[in-house]
Amino acid sequence: MLVIGNELLTGKVCEANLVVLAKSLRKLGILLRRVVMVRDDVDTIAREVRELSGTHDWLFTSGGVGPTHDDVTIEAVAQAFGVSVVMSPEMKGMLEAHYRERLTPGHLRMALIPEGGVLETTSEVPWPTVRVANTWIMPGVPQVFEMKIQVIEAKIGADQAFVSHAVYTKMDEGDLKPLLDRIVLAFPTIEVGSYPKWSDPTYQTKLTFDGLDPALVARARDAFIASLPPGEPQRVE
Amino acid sequence: MLVIGNELLTGKVCEANLVVLAKSLRKLGILLRRVVMVRDDVDTIAREVRELSGTHDWLFTSGGVGPTHDDVTIEAVAQAFGVSVVMSPEMKGMLEAHYRERLTPGHLRMALIPEGGVLETTSEVPWPTVRVANTWIMPGVPQVFEMKIQVIEAKIGADQAFVSHAVYTKMDEGDLKPLLDRIVLAFPTIEVGSYPKWSDPTYQTKLTFDGLDPALVARARDAFIASLPPGEPQRVE
């Protein structure tokens, strides 16, 4: 994922799209490996798009689409793929139908796409989401990002979702370490996470067990639970 | 900033430390250029630390410190700087004093630091924050991260904070574009941002004006306000 926007790097706005994409990709069985966040700079974004799209199956950008001077993602993606920016007749038509006599050249900039870009739509989300090869160009506004995530879910993904279980204990990580090490060793394909919580009276550390094989994930979780001392766990999910 | 943690990339936890660091760095007059988020993998983290610390004045890592198998940031930072991991006698003594007879080898792992690491403290935050050259190693737990940000604020930073003003309008970005373009051209050192808001009845687009010179930032904002049509702006900050 490439997140774009000065407002995020200056702390004016709290980034909200990553967790939405991350959850969706889990359902689609796609491993999110890397997120990069950069400022609204064409060359910087273009370099990142080239690098990330070239080294991953999919790239999702967030932000920098719109008509103003600080919206440079379309131009940057075009630069990354070595193509021009062109006006999509289809999107131009939709803007004309929407704005009618109020349409300005500023509005029309929202119909610009990298040449060769595919307009992805679903019946629920008719305003196109632009995809260039493996790179999905998503908007930064959280309400729109969340709406458009449906398009990604409809178009890509594997047949198998990631499965996750959680176990909550009142033990601290120092005491849990030897127990966790045994599970990590016994279940090399299961991802085991350990997350201390401050100031929650119901538990101190949450342990998570993730993988693609539901039965194996459950076995890893149960092997861990069996190794706990009396009185534990506090709860299981 | 380098953010570390599978829990963030799987959508289990919503990242919360970036906005805290971002706001602090604005006060310190430090420009946050880039955030990278990666999984709990030693080699990946080490490569990022090497890259980011080598190309920026400061690097702040978040997460991956603690005693369990998925806490690999200390080892990765050591690898990035080509040093060993050693036990800090000072931190070992603090752990012994805290845990006393309950102390386990797991707990003692929290005293491990990259060789040559500096223990940064303030009177309010006596548990050390480890810094290796220009790289600050910060914890992922938000309450602790937020507490330790005081240490960074006490130890580094410029004499000049960034200044930011905001103007709220009911205009859309397409109509605002020509007005904004004039300000961007007239005030090249001022960063102008444009952020549409969905479903807020009081305004449609927020414009921001940022820079290091308070008088110049105010002049850019006022020049923009003077160019607005009657009835605008809705409010000014």
B118, two tokens: 């500096």
**Domain-ending residue, one of B111, B135, B155:** B155
Closest C-alpha among B205, B11, B150, B104 to residue A149: B11
Cross-chain residue pair B37–A36, CB shorter than 8 Å: yes
Tell me, yes or no, whether B104 and B216 share the same domain: no
- List the single residue in B with minimal CA-CA distance to A205: B68
B231, two tokens: 């009835």
**Domain-ending residue, one of B155, B179, B207:** B155
Distances (CA, A) of B55 to A43, A110, B156: 17, 35, 18
* Domain extent for B231: 163-236
Contacts of A27 in chain B (CB under 8 A): none
Q: Angle at Cα B66 formed by Cα B64 and Cα B71, nearest 5°?
A: 40
Domain containing residue A115: CATH number: 3.40.980.10
Instruction: Write the pLDDT tens digit of every residue in B154-196.
Output: 999 777 899 999 999 999 998 999 999 999 999 999 999 999 9
User: What type of residue is A141?
Assistant: V
Residue A48: predicted pLDDT: 98
Residue B44: predicted pLDDT: 98
**Domain-ending residue, one of B113, B132, B155:** B155
Dist. CA A92–CA A82, nearest whole Å: 23
Dist. CA B218–CA A180, nearest whole Å: 56
CB contacts under 8 A, A 163-182 vs B, are 164, 172-178, 180-181
Which of A173, A191, A210 has the CB atom closest to B66's CB atom?
Answer: A173
Does residue A233 have a cis bond before it (omega within 30 degrees)? Answer: yes
Cross-chain residue pair A22–B8, CB shorter than 8 Å: yes
Tell me, yes or no, whether A143 and A192 share the same domain: no
Phi-psi region of B128 (alpha: psi -120 to 50; beta: other; left: phi over 0): beta
The burial of A237, by beta-carbon neighbours within 10 Å (0-12 exposed, 13-18 middle, 19 or more buried), is given as: exposed
Alpha-carbon torsion (B149, B136, A10, A36), positive or negative: negative
Phi-psi region of B152 (alpha: psi -120 to 50; beta: other; left: phi over 0): alpha
- Phi and psi (nearest 5°) for B124? -80, -25
Compute the 3-state secondary structure of chain B and give helix, strand, coil in percent, each to the nearest 5: 40, 20, 35
Cross-chain residue pair A196–B39, CB shorter than 8 Å: no
Burial A114-125 (b: 16+ CB within 10 A, else e): beebeebeeeeb
Tell me, yes or no, whether A97 and A182 share the same domain: no
Domain containing residue A230: CATH number: 3.30.70.1130
Residue A25: predicted pLDDT: 96
- List the single residue in B with minimal CA-CA distance to A30: B10
8 Å CB contact between B70 and A192:
yes
ipTM of the complex as predicted? 0.93
Tell me, yes or no, whether B105 and B75 share the same domain: yes
8 Å CB contact between B68 and A173:
yes
Q: Which residue has the tokens 């949450």?
A: A206
Contacts of A66 in chain B (CB under 8 A): 173, 194, 196
8 Å CB contact between B78 and B114:
yes
Q: How far is A116 from chain B (nearest CA, A)?
A: 25
B44, two tokens: 């990946």
Question: Measured between CB atoms, does B143 come within 8 Å of chain A?
Answer: yes
Which of A107, A108, A180 has the CB atom closest to B68's CB atom?
Answer: A180
Question: Measured between CB atoms, does A213 come within 8 Å of chain B?
Answer: no
Kindly give the parts of chain A with pLDDT less than 50: none
Question: Measured between CB atoms, does A109 come within 8 Å of chain B?
Answer: yes
Instruction: Write the pLDDT tens digit of every residue in B17-41.
Output: 999 999 999 999 999 999 999 999 9
DSSP secondary structure letters along chain A = -EEE-HHHHTTSS---HHHHHHHHHHHTT----EEEEE-S-HHHHHHHHHHHHHHSS-EEEES--SSSTT--HHHHHHHHHT--EEE-HHHHHHHHHHHGGG--HHHHGGGEEETT-EEE--SS--SPEEEETTEEEE-SSHHHHHHHHHHHHHH---S---EEEEEEESS-HHHHHHHHHHHHHH-TTSEEEEEE-SS-TT-SEEEEEEES-HHHHHHHHHHHHHTSPTT--SEE-
Residue A186 burial (CB count, 10 A): 12
Residue B106: predicted pLDDT: 87
Tell me, yes or no, whether A139 and A190 share the same domain: no
Burial B157-190 (b: 16+ CB within 10 A, else e): beeeebbbbbbbbebbbbbbbebbeebbeebeeb
Tell me, yes or no, whether B107 and B134 share the same domain: yes
Residue A226: predicted pLDDT: 97
Dist. CA A188–CA A169, nearest whole Å: 23
Question: Measured between CB atoms, does A10 come within 8 Å of chain B?
Answer: yes
Residue A14: predicted pLDDT: 95
Question: Measured between CB atoms, does B51 come within 8 Å of chain A?
Answer: no
Residue A215: predicted pLDDT: 97
Dist. CA A61–CA A49, nearest whole Å: 8
Contacts of B174 in chain A (CB under 8 A): 67, 99, 104, 106-110
Residue B197: predicted pLDDT: 87
Residue A197: predicted pLDDT: 87
The total number of structural domains in chain A stands at: 2
Residue B128: predicted pLDDT: 94
Instruction: Write the pLDDT tens digit of every residue in B45-104.
Output: 999 999 999 999 999 999 999 889 999 999 999 999 999 999 999 999 999 999 999 999
Closest C-alpha among A21, A98, A135, A112 to residue A66: A112
Q: How far is CA B137 from the centre of its chain?
A: 12
Tell me, yes or no, whether B231 and B118 share the same domain: no
Q: How far is B139 from chain A (nearest CA, A)?
A: 11
Residue A204: predicted pLDDT: 95
Dist. CA A31–CA A192, nearest whole Å: 15
State the best of B68, B110, B182, B197 to mutate against chain A, taking most chain A CBs within 10 Å: B68
DSSP secondary structure letters along A51-113 = HHHHHSS-EEEES--SSSTT--HHHHHHHHHT--EEE-HHHHHHHHHHHGGG--HHHHGGGEE
Question: Measured between CB atoms, does A157 come within 8 Å of chain B?
Answer: no
Q: Angle at Cα A110 formed by Cα A106 and Cα A113, nearest 5°?
A: 130
Q: How far is B10 from chain A (nearest CA, A)?
A: 5
Contacts of B141 in chain A (CB under 8 A): 196, 198
Tell me, yes or no, whether B150 and B180 share the same domain: no
Residue B199: predicted pLDDT: 80
Tell me, yes or no, whether A172 and A64 share the same domain: no
Tell me, yes or no, whether B86 and B202 share the same domain: no
Cross-chain residue pair B9–A174, CB shorter than 8 Å: no
Dist. CA B209–CA B227, nearest whole Å: 15
Q: Angle at Cα A29 formed by Cα A24 and Cα A30, nearest 5°?
A: 75
- List the single residue in A with minimal CA-CA distance to B210: A10
Tell me, yes or no, whether A231 and A148 share the same domain: no
Tell me, yes or no, whether A53 and A114 share the same domain: yes
CB contacts < 8 A, A to B, total 185
